Amino acid sequence: MLIDSHAHLTSPSVFNELNSVLERSQQAGVDAILNICTDPLSLERGLALSERFPWIYQAAATTPHDVEKEGKQVFEIMAASARHGQLKAVGETGLDYHYQHSDRAIQKEFLRRYLHLALECKLPVIIHCRHAFADLFEILDADYQVDGGHAPGILHCFTGTMAEAEGVIKRGWMLSLSGIVTFKKSVELQEVARNVPLEQLLIETDTPYLAPQKFRGKQNEPAFLVEIAHCIADLQHISFEKLAEATARNARLFLALDR
């Protein structure tokens, strides 16, 4: 009954042992995975993966880390895949002022381009945001509207404050929590997890990154989603089954999954 709403299955470290990773994920009860493609090779591999495994879906965009280096040459490849109906979402795109591997102005330019692509293709957008919420909300409010309201989006791997979470929730977006919520020092994020409405919650592993506390130091994988779900269920004082059912339903509806 679990759906991993964000994993990088076609990243090199995972792809080399993919069969065993997928076998463990199904044994753990992960029914579907949204694979995030961030370059042409990962997209090519991802689309082939969906042909082999109908329960694995694709999203694609250049991350804010890489847009300065390869945004222009990659955008049209990602856009073509979206326009051909091969994607369930556009992303991950966004703003990252923590690492700032790309110039802020270029990050904003490509965020807008991917937002417009999502609107054109009637797809939700998946956002990566670190230390940039003020600019993110300003751009969303100006450039990502449909019928006078906020177009659909997911704030993936949320690590912001309660006030920033409220900004996501107010705009009707999904807020996705990763293994970071299980870390002992993630006190503020655990407060967010207690308060996010269940109908706006998704869960993810962000494989191969950010393994939950129980598996710190290991490569993350979708099977570990169970640990994240248990942690959030405990924080919300609900059963694991209720948390799993709600987040899976949210993912199916929001991403138009057919499984």
Query: What domains appear along the chain, each with residue ranges and CATH number?
Result: 2-255 (3.20.20.140)
pLDDT confidence of residue 155: 98
pLDDT confidence of residue 99: 87
Cβ-contact 225, 2 below 8 angstroms: yes
pLDDT confidence of residue 215: 97
CA 153, CA 242: separation in Å to the nearest integer?
23
CA 118, CA 257: separation in Å to the nearest integer?
17
For 153, residues 6+ apart whose C-beta sits below 8 A from its C-beta are 118, 124, 125, 126, 127, 140, 144, 171, 173, 174
Backbone angles phi, psi at 143, to 5 degrees: -120, -5
Cβ-contact 121, 89 below 8 angstroms: no
Burial 167-199 (b: 16+ CB within 10 A, else e): bbbebebbbbbbbbbbeeebeebbebbeebeee
Cβ-contact 222, 21 below 8 angstroms: yes
Provide the pairing of β-strand 30-37 with 2-7. Answer: parallel
CA 259, CA 248: separation in Å to the nearest integer?
10
pTM over 0.95: yes
Q: What is the mean pLDDT of each run of 10 residues along the chain (259 residues)?
A: 97 95 98 98 98 97 95 96 98 94 96 98 98 97 92 97 97 98 97 98 98 97 98 98 98 93
pLDDT confidence of residue 100: 85
CB atoms within 10 A of CB 15: 17
pLDDT confidence of residue 191: 98
